[in-house]
Amino acid sequence: MEFHFVVANDNGNSEHKIMTNGILHKQPNVYSIIHSDQGQSDEPLDVLIANIHKNIDVRIESKVLSGTYRYLIGHAAIERNQAQIYNMNIQNIKKHTEDLPVINTLGTIAVEAVKKAYDEKKTLTNGELIKVTTDMTTALPASIHNVESEEYFKNRFLNHLHEVKVYIKDLTITVQIEFSFVKVMKEGVPALFSLIEDGNNNYRNDDIFEEFNKEYKNNVDGSYFLNKRILHCDIGDGSTELVYTTGYSADPLKSAGEKIGLGQAIENAGVNLSKELNLDISRQKISEYLKNPNHKFHQLALKHIYQPKQEIARKIFNAIENRLQTLAFEVDVLMVYGGASILLKDVLYDTLKNYCDKYGIELLWIPSKYAVEMNVNGMQIYNTIRMADLQMSNEG
């Protein structure tokens, strides 16, 4: 079988958000290497296929990786309690050179291909081959994005045949992945597409602007931000990206990335939390506790992160203040989003709001329901526009 996938790929330090043909999958951005068979599940194949993204078990052969190994990816790596879990290095961010973004991207695309094949045929055959050609949009942090890093990262996917063996029940399915197009954006630019457009050739006009409208007594839609000078504050686990944009253009000379993120607070909180529970708890596991109000350790995790996150909030505020001063406050809107913005709002919003008011800058704090997916949704909108343009060009 052969498929063509259009992929929007946001490889976050904490969470991997990836869309294949408009279908979103999110999971911890981790993997573990396994050296023995995990054993077969007793569940029927249709059940395993329905949950395949939570049980990614693959072997990847690619010239761009440092070796050929069998991996558990995302939820599977965490839930099967492997001794060694690999995640993104939040102390020394070099996403374009790390193997993790390539491994987890290839693994996720491969299992989606297997799922699609099963959905179409209602069966799978041991040893069968699925071929996937892929157009992909992804991004690198402003702190490392330049011509060289963009080209290096792009070429790790392009011009190679990546072969992935997917293990499910007693079957081994081979998926060959080739990339026909890769676009590497500067983080911040995709979020503009998500802010301004709704993906249906209209300006965005929904509750993403509700708090902003109440604060500034406006009735805005996405068009309001078309020509605004915006300083993006995209707060993640490993870094805070401060990207300056006007329209759909990012100015690299006015942008910066700081190696400050909530992951550092989570790691600090994890030391005390691990001691209290007498467990060795990974950063991703603590993130799950924090994200899930119904988890039995949610309140405990909140208690242990409160002080560390205040320290991170102070560092982020100082970074924003320095950037605004460098820009001589020639900014119309400060836009705050990213997964870490959700937990930091209670200790950062008021301070930022008062500061922005002083210099005539509007503060747009993206609501939690949208904050995590601004980049991946923006990439998807970019892909939609690109594919429509290609179709028109072919028809013309």
45/249: higher pLDDT: 45
**Residue-level pLDDT at 76:** 93
Q: Across residues 143-148, what is the average pLDDT?
A: 85
Domain ranges of the chain: 2-186, 189-371
Q: Does 339 score more than 70 pLDDT? A: yes
Structure confidence at residue 89 as a pLDDT band (50, 70, 90): low
Which residues in 206-233 are b (16+ Cβ under 10 Å) and which e? eebbeebeeeeeeebbbebbeebbbbbb
CATH code given to domain 189-371: 3.30.420.40
**Residue-level pLDDT at 92:** 53
Structure confidence at residue 84 as a pLDDT band (50, 70, 90): confident
Task: Say whether 189-371 and 2-186 share the same fold.
Answer: yes
**Residue-level pLDDT at 93:** 64
pTM for this prediction:
0.89
**Residue-level pLDDT at 298:** 85
Q: Across residues 286-302, what is the average pLDDT?
A: 84
Q: Across residues 99-111, what is the average pLDDT?
A: 97
Report the distance separating Cα 166 and Cα 156, nearest Å: 21
3-state secondary structure 98-127: CCHHHHHHHHHHHHHHHHHHHHHHCCCCCC
188/28: higher pLDDT: 28
**Residue-level pLDDT at 121:** 95
CATH code given to domain 2-186: 3.30.420.40
Residue 305 belongs to what H/E stretch? helix 298-326
Name residue 28's beta-bridge partners.
15
Q: Across residues 117-122, what is the average pLDDT?
A: 96
**Residue-level pLDDT at 136:** 98
Q: Across residues 84-99, what is the average pLDDT?
A: 78
Q: Does 96 score more than 80 pLDDT? A: yes
Unique residue bearing structure tokens 């078309």 = 226
Structure confidence at residue 256 as a pLDDT band (50, 70, 90): confident
Residue 132 belongs to what H/E stretch? strand 129-140
For the beta sheet containing 69-73, the strands, ordered from the edge strand earlier in sequence to the opposite edge, are 23-28, 15-20, 2-11, 129-140, 171-186, 162-168, 56-61, 69-73, 30-34, 86-87
Residue 309 belongs to what H/E stretch? helix 298-326
